[in-house]
Amino acid sequence: MTAMTAMTARILGLPAQSGLAASLSVQLGIPLITATIGSFADGERQVRLHDDVAGQVLILVGSTGPPVDSNLMAMAQLIDAARRSAARSITAVIPYLGYSRSDHMADPGTPLACRLVADLLQAAGLDRLVSVDLHSPAIPGFFTIPVTEGSAIDLLADAFRTGRPDRRIVVAPDAGAIKRAGRFASRLGAPLAIALKHRPAPDVPKILQLWGDFEGRDAIIVDDMISTGATIEHVARRLHEGGATAIDLAVVHPVMAPGAEERLRARGIRRIVVTDSLLYQPETEWPALEVASLAPLLADLIRLVPPDGGPAEP
């Protein structure tokens, strides 16, 4: 590792990302440390570091996904514990950042929750954030600390290298997915289709229009996350009606709220490729589901962190 060494850095993973943290430890040559990450009887989070982090660059690995509030508080408390234990600096590797969809005030009286999350983590003592495919380009601006963002789109596209490119079409399920889907399509040399979506209520999508020529083509829907699966369900129905021969998914973050798996199974999705930004275990065996590791990408992003892990951009 060029910037940090095993003598000055330590890695700690939240339980759901313990496997990812272990992979990063091996790739970077940085030792893992341990902590108690549990709860009191009333549900309050309880954490405790078991290793001395004084003078160390601490790298905390963990997404603030479901259960979002619980994992967010665990991350904030670990940051605070490390700061009070005289850690030299603290970098949080949060592949999936919870509340990232609340990146604007949709209506009067609604909060800017993603900004609130940024304030919480910074107030706890965070020096740097590393993340993957943040939901909105506005999110890094919510932080006053450096934010290093990578993208898993190329990684997902490479999983679809085999097959006939002339029979494929890449689909952006809404306007927010156009940039990612466009990058995916460019890497595969495939055309791009776009869906126009409206949400009359939270988690209730309505597909207004779908532009593209899908007749006789294999469609690959590309997005940053699967939450309820409702958007993908509606787009997949339109694609089938338009003559698509098969439907695949390439999605970075498998949030997979209750009901999502059922929806996707019911639509007969042929192949679903996600990353391990979140730990998702299907209810039963699901041959269509494939998981690509973010460890190599995250290792490269962590190598960009300055030797002191501090705020100056590399």
- Nearest of 252, 246, 265 to residue 226 by alpha carbon: 252
Half-sphere exposure of 56 (CA within 13 A, CB side): 21
- Indicate if 206 belongs to the active site: no
Spot the catalytic one: 88, 101, 115, 197.
197
Q: What angle do CA 163, 167, 169 make, to 5 degrees?
A: 105
Q: Is 141 in contact with 119 (CB distance < 8 Å)?
A: no
Residues with a catalytic annotation lie at: 197
